[in-house]
Amino acid sequence: MSRERVIDEVLSAVMAFFSFRSFRTRLLVFLLALLLPVLLGIYIFVNRENNQYTTDTIDSYLELGADVFDFTREEHKNTLLTITSTMTRDWGFRNAFGTGDPYTIIDAADNILLRSLGAADMMLISSMDGEVIIDTKIQGFERLEGEWLALMEEAASSDNGIGDAIINVLGVPYQITVIPLFLPTPVAWIFGGFPLDNTFTDTVKQSIVSDVSIVEYRNATSGAADINASEVEVIASTLRPADQVRLTAQLQRTGMTYTDTQRIMLEDGEYGTLMRSLYGEPGAPLQIVAVIQKSYNENIENLEAFQRVLLQFYLAVLALSLIAVVFLARSVTRPILDLAIRVKHIEEGDYGQSVMVRGKDEISQLAGSVNNMALGLAEKEKVRDLLGKVVSHEIAEELLSKKIELGGEEKVVTVLFADIKGFTTLCETSAPEAVLTVLNRYLSEITKVIEDNHGVVDKYTGDSVMALFGAPLTRPNDADNAVRAALAIQECMVELNSINRAEGMALMEAGIGIHTGLVVAGNLGSQNRLNYTVIGDSVNLSARLEGLTRKYNTPNIVSEVCLQHAQGFVYQELDVVQVAGKSEPVRIYQVIGAQEDVTPEQYEKIGVFAEALAAYRAQKWAQATQMFENLQLTLPAAERAESLYSVYLERMTYLHKRNLPEDWDAVFVFDRK
């Protein structure tokens, strides 16, 4: 029975206990006590929703205000376009333009501006090549330049010959529209504009009941790292001068988009703030933005009033509930609290303490049930702890979580065998107690390495360890984990030998065999005694490969199938062999290390060995012998007699005397385990 189920049963027992008629009054009080988290949750929820509603409302006002701002500007643009279009058809203006006299033309332009009733405030006329003919604002340039020239070129390239943009005119942003003057062919460009000034912002505020400001940013250099450090000026605003200063001090552009709402404190409270770009981009030498602002004050006042009423109501309910709880604390609350603490201890794994409740009512019966369940869980934990020491944690969980029955399932598993070379010598030269100490230390470290690489120790057989990667739990990189564990075991042996050397014990070397293949994984044995393990030809092959490490004087041997599943390592092909009990040959390899850890010198030796192996298989005995001898000379003198190269040198002393066929497959047969 799991801890979660214990808690569920206790809670069910508590609810059953309260369902008896003798505890009806206590049930009522208990339900009142539950009001505390409920009311608190409701208060938090309502408060959060009201705050969110306030924020959403202000955001919607700001979005609407921004849309109205854009609409108002668009309407002014359309009116401006109508006025400038009218000029091209106005008989008096066409006659005035035909005179070629600038004074006559500017008088005619002023007359039209006067008739526009404020819809247009300035007018500029230039020739088709950009020479200024008249400028009602007298900006001081004789030819169009900069943005004026760009706007003219934009209109010239458009399908309808019309262009519009916001241009700074004598320090004030103007909405400018340009159209050509036809007599009957295009003879001039007419630029008309109206200012985005206080008059414009006042007009917008009347429509949206929100404050509107036009803010100009001047940067020292384009693309400055801190665009908020630029020179800021409010060109037009419905705010008071003091609030305009606060606006420029708090308005942020870094990391903000034109859909982000900012909160800015002005003199009379907090305002939601939304920006709209009118001219330029952030970081440009000049940028002009429209700022729409709506006060939170009205919404916040309503929210605070509602919170006060809600809080007063909750406090009254809680006060009445607390008074009722005081009278029943001794009879119900304290025993239930003791039971809750006991259940908490059980959840944390503490089964030793018992809860004592006097009486013979339902609460005392419930306490007895909790104590009995704690005893049962304590026994189960003892079994789990003991089982975890006998088998690996994963296998223990597999046995405890499922119905135990004989049988298994087919799985692709990577099997690793590790064995101590020279263990017999160690036993012969050391006392049994010392041998046991060394063996336990070896098995402990090897087990830790295997488990750290997501492997499971299946069994110990003397000094041999059988580990599984892929059973009972399958991972996508089981073969990688097995090869990585083999390399870690080799490193671990270096540390263990340093301890043995210090203690005067014989040095040890591990032989490791790894193969990936199909096995049957499950419970093996009888109904009364069983063992979770894997069986199959792949297990036998792994054991044979471990045994071959002594034949080839290598720390590990990996099958070709395992290599195909673990590609992130560097391997050296050793041979093609037929092991005892198998009719099919197997190509075997030694894993040198992870790709990032192998040195250029090691790569070079692997290449030379591959060439020597190819010469051996081609029966080029003299060439192969010379290459293996050269490789052997790279080793320390003490290691040459028992090396991989010496295996081939010894083998070739009798192979070259045999009359081998030309199609010799170079498979070496081992007829013994």
Neighbours of 469 (CB within 10 A): 30
CA distance 111 to 588: 101
Q: What is the pLDDT of residues 195-213, one digit of tens each?
A: 888 888 888 888 777 888 8
Residue of 249, 196, 254 whose CA lies nearest to 224? 254
Residue of 463, 449, 467 whose CA lies nearest to 420? 463
Residue of 514, 581, 506, 505 whose CA lies nearest to 549? 514
Q: What is the pLDDT of residues 284-311, one digit of tens each?
A: 777 888 888 888 776 666 667 777 777 7
Q: What is the pLDDT of residues 510-525, one digit of tens each?
A: 999 999 999 988 777 6
The model's confidence at residue 223, banded by pLDDT at 50, 70 and 90, is very low
State the fold for domain 90-195. Beta-Lactamase (3.30.450)
- SS3 of 283, please? coil
Residue of 522, 513, 521 whose CA lies nearest to 548? 513
Cα 239 to chain center, whole Å? 45
Q: Is 267 exposed, middle or buried (0-12, 13-18, 19+ CB in 10 A)?
A: exposed
Q: Return the structure tokens found at 119.
A: 């819809």
Mean pLDDT to the nearest integer, 104-123: 76
The model's confidence at residue 24, banded by pLDDT at 50, 70 and 90, is very low
How wide is the angle at C-alpha 165 spanned by C-alphas 161 and 166, nearest 5°? 160
Match domain 405-593 to its CATH number in 3.90.1300.10, 2.40.50.100, 3.30.365.10, 3.30.70.1230: 3.30.70.1230
Query: Which of 129-133, 378-382, 632-636, 645-649 is the least confident region?
Result: 378-382
CA distance 638 to 640: 6
CA distance 266 to 264: 6
- SS3 of 180, please? strand
Q: What is the pLDDT of residues 40-51, one digit of tens each?
A: 777 677 777 777
**For all residues of the chain together, what is the average pLDDT?**
79
Cα 490 to chain center, whole Å? 35
The model's confidence at residue 231, banded by pLDDT at 50, 70 and 90, is confident
- H/E stretch holding 607: helix 600-617
The model's confidence at residue 530, banded by pLDDT at 50, 70 and 90, is low
**Residues ≥6 apart with Cβ < 8 Å to 83:** 112, 116, 119, 120, 192
Q: Return the structure tokens found at 112.
A: 């039209």
Query: Which of 253-257, 267-271, 395-399 is the least confident region?
Result: 395-399
- The 8-class DSSP code of residue 662 comes to T
Question: pTM of the full predicted structure?
Answer: 0.47
Q: Which residue has the tokens 């400018």?
A: 176
Phi, psi of 618 (to 5 degrees): -85, 5
The model's confidence at residue 61, banded by pLDDT at 50, 70 and 90, is confident
**Omega within 30 of 0 (cis) for the link into 472:** yes
Phi, psi of 304 (to 5 degrees): -65, -40
Q: What is the pLDDT of residues 543-593, one digit of tens each?
A: 999 999 999 999 999 999 999 999 999 999 999 999 887 888 999 999 999
Are 414 and 565 a contacting pair, CB within 8 Å?
A: yes
Cα 272 to chain center, whole Å? 33
The model's confidence at residue 337, banded by pLDDT at 50, 70 and 90, is low
Cα 619 to chain center, whole Å? 57
- H/E stretch holding 225: none
Query: Residues of 135-162 as b/e, b for ≥16 C-beta within 10 angstroms?
Result: bbeeeeeeebeeebeebbeebeeeeeee
Q: What long-range pairs does 582-585 form, CB within 8 A, spacing at least 24?
A: 582/537, 582/540, 582/541, 582/544, 585/665, 585/667
Residue ranges per structural domain of the chain: 1-33+307-390, 90-195, 211-297, 405-593, 599-662
Which one is predicted more confidently, 660 or 469? 469
Q: Where are the alpha helices (DSSP H) in 453-583?
A: 478-503, 537-552, 560-565
For residue 511, the cross-strand partners are 419
Strands (E), 302-438: 407-421
CA distance 460 to 63: 73
- SS3 of 665, please? coil
Phi, psi of 457 (to 5 degrees): -75, 120
